[in-house]
Structure 1
């Protein structure tokens, strides 16, 4: 195995670990009940959104704002 193979293997292992951690976090979130009111603005979260996204805590507007701030 050369240096490139070792680096590629490490990258694959790291990627797999990141994906596994993300999936575990999503599982924890989906096990929680969905909020009826947004945790940021207090507005109503529509039933359709609560059914589609288990464990949802934010309305669409607040979720969008939060995602834009992360970029």
Structure 2
């Protein structure tokens, strides 16, 4: 299949790189360390079940939901390596 400047397998490499960066970003966002007993944002107690289920948790469920709602993710395209993507 002719695809301009892209080498054979370049599309799959770009897909793999995008997936790898998404996994790395998700791992980076995982909490680390010991869980807090009270939310660092609002000060409300964090449920024991939540602390046991998710080691390193720092926010109560309500604050975590609000933080995730406000989070913005990039488009998910990895355009750093392929010549073909630089031409677009």
When Rg is computed on C-alpha atoms for both structures, the one with the higher figure is 2
| C-alpha RMSD over aligned residues | 2.3
User: Counterparts of 1:70 and 1:16 in 2: how far apart (Å)?
Assistant: 20
Q: 2: CA distance between counterparts of 1:69 and 1:21?
A: 16
| Count of residue pairs the alignment pairs up | 67
Q: Scaled by the length of structure 1, what TM-score is found?
A: 0.73
Per the alignment, residue 20 of structure 2 pairs with: 16
* Structure 1: tracts of 5 or more residues without a match: none
Compare the two structures and name the one with the higher helix fraction: 1
Task: Give me the TM-score of the superposition, normalised by structure 2.
Answer: 0.61
Counterpart of 2:84? none
Structure 1 stretches of at least 4 aligned residues deviating more than 6 Å after TM superposition? none
- Cα distance in 1 for partners of 2:35, 2:26 equals 19
TM alignment of 1:37-52, pairs within 5 A: 37-52=38-53
Q: List gaps (5 residues or longer) in structure 2.
A: 73-88
Larger RCO: Structure 1 or Structure 2 (Cα < 8 Å, ≥ 6 residues apart)? Answer: 2
Shift of 1:70: 1.6
Within a 5 Å distance, the mapping from 1:48-59 to structure 2 comes to: 48-59=49-60
